[in-house]
Amino acid sequence: MLKNENMEQLTQKLKDGQMTVLEAPMPSLAAGKLLVQNLYSLVSAGTEGSTVKTARSSLIEKARQRPQQVKQVLDVLRQQGPAQTYRTVMKKLDAYSPLGYSCVGQVLGIGVGVQGFQVGDWVACGGLTACHAEIVSVPENLCLRLHPDTDLKQAAYNTLGAIAMQGVRQADLRLGEKCAVIGLGLLGQLTCLLLRAAGIRVCGIDIDPYAVETAGKHCTDLALLRSSEGIEGIIHEFTGGLGCDAVIITAATDSLDPINFAGAIARKRGTIVVVGAVPTGFDREPHYYKKELQIRMSCSYGPGRYDPQYEEKGIDYPPAYVRWTEKRNMETFQELIYTKKIDVSYLTTHIFKLEDAPKAYDLLLSRSEPFIGILIEYDTSKALRKEKIQLKSSFTGAGPSAINIGFIGAGSYAQSHLLPNIPKDKNVVLKGVMTATGTGSRSVGERFGFEFCTGDEKDIIENPEINTVFIATRHDSHAGYVLKALKAGKNVFVEKPLCLTETELNEIAGIYSELSSKQKPFPMLMVGYNRRFSPFAQEVAKVFPSGPLAMIYRINAGAIPPDSWIQDQDLGGGRIIGEVCHFVDLLTFSNGSLPKTVFAQAMDAPGQLQDVVNVLLYYENGSIGTISYLANGDKSLPKERVEVYGHGVTAIIDDFKSLIIYSKGKKKEKKLLSQDKGQKSEVKAFLEALSSGKGPPIPYDQLFNSSLVTFKILESLRSGKPQEV
């Protein structure tokens, strides 16, 4: 029922703001997630309106609004050159970007590990995957089961309701106290409704007469235009001369007026809660200092937001210690709706069919008529399409011995370093692509000229026309896809790491050994250890044709936050498995033999992850290698430096941009205009090996050994002892 189905989804392109209702592959049903067929989704006028406005602005205006991203682009330009910078920028600008983050629908499928749901349940969903699409795939902790007779239009306000509720919780008000809400758009109206349901007297302020009038009728005790004469005096009287116990700012503006006005109307030692996107550079005098006001930030839906352990793995916080999480906020909001403690039906001013959804955003920007809540409605009676989405391929006239490629995963790295380096000729054909999202698959498929895009891995792995599979997914899925592709008789190129555990490594090695003994020619396996293919690494290998050598590899890796998926042992494998394998491979290539023993030590400092590490390697031919992987240095220092000593010669590679060779008292230096870590040559070597029938670009003993060494590094760190490889 759920295989190979396509859907329609609302998207826009950041390049020009073009908005399209796009046919895209249905998202896959992953572990810990639910597949939901939407009935309604809510347009967030503030967040989405800002996103669409930015997308429709000029490139100069986009740069002005996003200075941090401009800095990142300039960093890429300095390090990797104009070609790579262009690819990086266009990948963002040309992609189909989803919109929306609050919806309600019916469960179609339940992923492994999910409990408390059944197919057919009505659910409210939040988060970036709860977008404007016919079908969405949402993590368990961002879904909540609804009563069968819930008003589903009201339930669609789920995510905005949770955001409003978290702001109210941050205000920490008591029964009978008084609160002002600055900004009476959708989020402000919801905040006022929740405050009144909690027994708080509410004053609402906005610059829009329609918003003020609506709030005055439905959700406030006092509603005022910001421009009202004597507004501070009116609020002073409303609070009995005390001032507001709390002020919640739900406005979105570049002006400092909301934060300063909040200080003016708050009582002494009152609380200011910032929910909306406003600057917080308030005037210290006369209010904030003399009144000892407290400012609190409210983070989205509540505790759990942006925590991958909570949102992706479904690990809940214990209620005794974290009473209100984002899911419990959503549940409470829905309970208030179901028990009619609040009524948000008046907020829905417009409903658009999915095919007319772009008109909703025209309304947001033009403000041609008053609006508050805008819903997108889906036709659930429409049959989902079963076929793969055929695209207009740029590869034609393939020869009988063509390399027919399928991609599983095609994120930032693949779009920057793998796909651009696949030649456009009759001997190499991009057949199909599958990524984590339907819009991602469609974007990559169109941009790089694939014949089709899909949301089902079987369309790639079980496709008889595809003989070669590139795997560029998140690390935790590498081993599974490698095994499936090898068993299907496909050639495999997998980005590093090959796998995350020694058990997975043994299974892959076993399958490969079995295939090589039975099948001629047997499938080729390649891991994306690109550095050995860089021009300077190749030149150093010619300078030192044999060992023993002494090698030093220093990596100024930089810090990665502990809550990143890369640091997660289950998802990314950690930095040793996930990245140090690169450096192990290069040293192995440089001296031409395999490591025999490994000894590793990590910095022991409070709060320090195992990412400041020295690794000592001893090789079969007598070579020695040191890998210094450092996450505690300054980012302005170039990332990588390789030094090789042997036979009276020294070679130094500096960040793959320069090479210095000292020999016979002389110094010879070469420089590149931009960094070359060998990605282009790596892809070329793999494809040429497939075409020619020659051996693999990386010998299999070295390929498997590089993963094994990383496992031995971790074992050495645990035991404090050297490990035999």
For 131-175, write each residue's pLDDT tens digit: 999 999 999 999 999 999 999 999 999 999 999 999 999 999 999
DSSP notation for 444-506: HHHHHT-SEEES-THHHHT-TT--EEEE-S-GGGHHHHHHHHHHTT-EEEEPSPS-SSHHHHH
Beta-bridged to residue 630, according to DSSP, are 556
Task: Choose the weakest-confidence range: 1-10, 30-39, 98-107, 170-179.
Answer: 1-10
Distance CA 706, CA 691 (A): 26
Residues 6+ apart with CB under 8 A from 582: 496, 529, 530, 531
Query: 384 falls in which pLDDT band (50, 70, 90)?
Result: low
- Sign of the CA dihedral 26, 27, 33, 37? negative
Residue with tokens 């570049």: 254
SS3 2: coil
The answer to whether residues 683 and 585 touch, using CB atoms and an 8 Å cutoff, is: no
- Sign of the CA dihedral 507, 456, 104, 131? positive
DSSP 8-state secondary structure symbol assigned to residue 273: E
What pairing do the DSSP bridges indicate for beta strands 201-206 and 222-225? parallel
- Sign of the CA dihedral 29, 35, 41, 47? negative
Distance CA 718, CA 99 (A): 45
Position 616 scores a pLDDT of 98
Distance CA 642, CA 636 (A): 18
CATH fold label, 6-156+344-377 = Quinone Oxidoreductase; Chain A, domain 1 (3.90.180)
> What is the chain's Cα-based Rg?
29
The answer to whether residues 480 and 515 touch, using CB atoms and an 8 Å cutoff, is: no
Give the amino acid at 629. Y
Distance CA 632, CA 556 (A): 8
Query: 91 falls in which pLDDT band (50, 70, 90)?
Result: low
For CATH 3.40.50.720, the residue range(s) in the chain are 160-297, 399-527
266-274 sheet: strands from edge to edge:
222-225, 201-206, 178-182, 244-249, 266-274, 294-297
Cα within 13 Å of Cα(40), Cβ side = 21
For the chain, report the end-to-end CA distance as a whole number of angstroms. Answer: 48
Name the phi and psi angles at 242, rounded to 5. Answer: -85, -35
Distance CA 508, CA 431 (A): 25
DSSP 8-state secondary structure symbol assigned to residue 384: P
451: left (phi over 0), alpha (psi -120 to 50) or beta: alpha
DSSP 8-state secondary structure symbol assigned to residue 95: S
DSSP notation for 196-222: HHTT-EEEEEES-HHHHHHHHHHT-SE
Cβ burial of 437 (10 Å; 0-12, 13-18, 19+) is buried
Q: Extract the tokens encoding 20.
A: 């399209």
Cβ burial of 134 (10 Å; 0-12, 13-18, 19+) is buried
**Mean pLDDT across the chain, nearest whole number?**
92
For the stretch 202-260, pLDDT in tens is 999 999 999 999 999 999 999 999 999 999 999 999 999 999 999 999 999 999 999 99
Percent of the chain at pLDDT above 90?
79
CA neighbor of 189 nearest in space, from 211, 166, 158: 211
Position 74 scores a pLDDT of 65
Position 4 scores a pLDDT of 47
Query: 385 falls in which pLDDT band (50, 70, 90)?
Result: low
Percent of the chain at pLDDT above 70?
93
What is the CATH number assigned to the segment(s) 530-724? 3.30.360.10
For the stretch 433-481, pLDDT in tens is 999 888 999 999 999 999 999 999 999 999 999 999 999 999 999 999 9
Mean pLDDT of 76-88: 67
Name the phi and psi angles at 257, rounded to 5. Answer: -60, -45
CA neighbor of 465 nearest in space, from 420, 394, 400, 390: 400
The answer to whether residues 619 and 596 touch, using CB atoms and an 8 Å cutoff, is: yes
Residue of 27 and 247 predicted with greater confidence: 247
Position 546 scores a pLDDT of 85
Task: Choose the weakest-confidence range: 184-198, 377-391, 512-526.
Answer: 377-391
Q: Extract the tokens encoding 395.
A: 């590869």
Distance CA 462, CA 434 (A): 13
Distance CA 157, CA 154 (A): 6
What pairing do the DSSP bridges indicate for beta strands 143-145 and 135-139? unpaired
Position 59 scores a pLDDT of 66
Residue of 208 and 610 predicted with greater confidence: 208
For CATH 3.90.180.10, the residue range(s) in the chain are 6-156+344-377
Position 466 scores a pLDDT of 96
Distance CA 14, CA 403 (A): 33
For CATH 3.30.360.10, the residue range(s) in the chain are 530-724
Residue with tokens 């404007």: 132
What is the CATH number assigned to the segment(s) 160-297? 3.40.50.720
Residue 395: pLDDT over 60: no
Question: To 5 degrees, how large is the angle CA 256–CA 258–CA 259?
Answer: 70
Residue 503: pLDDT over 90: yes
Position 597 scores a pLDDT of 98
For the stretch 518-568, pLDDT in tens is 767 789 999 999 999 999 999 999 999 888 999 999 999 999 988 888 999
Cα within 13 Å of Cα(363), Cβ side = 19
Residues 6+ apart with CB under 8 A from 396: 426
Which of these CATH numbers, 1.20.1050.10, 3.40.50.720, 3.90.1170.50, 3.30.700.30, describes 399-527? 3.40.50.720
Distance CA 268, CA 272 (A): 11
The answer to whether residues 402 and 375 touch, using CB atoms and an 8 Å cutoff, is: no
Residue 2: pLDDT over 50: no
The answer to whether residues 295 and 319 touch, using CB atoms and an 8 Å cutoff, is: no
Position 52 scores a pLDDT of 78
Residue 426: pLDDT over 90: no
Q: Extract the tokens encoding 408.
A: 């599983």
Count the neighbouring beta carbons within 10 Å of the beta carbon of residue 656. 25
Cβ burial of 563 (10 Å; 0-12, 13-18, 19+) is exposed
The answer to whether residues 450 and 422 touch, using CB atoms and an 8 Å cutoff, is: no
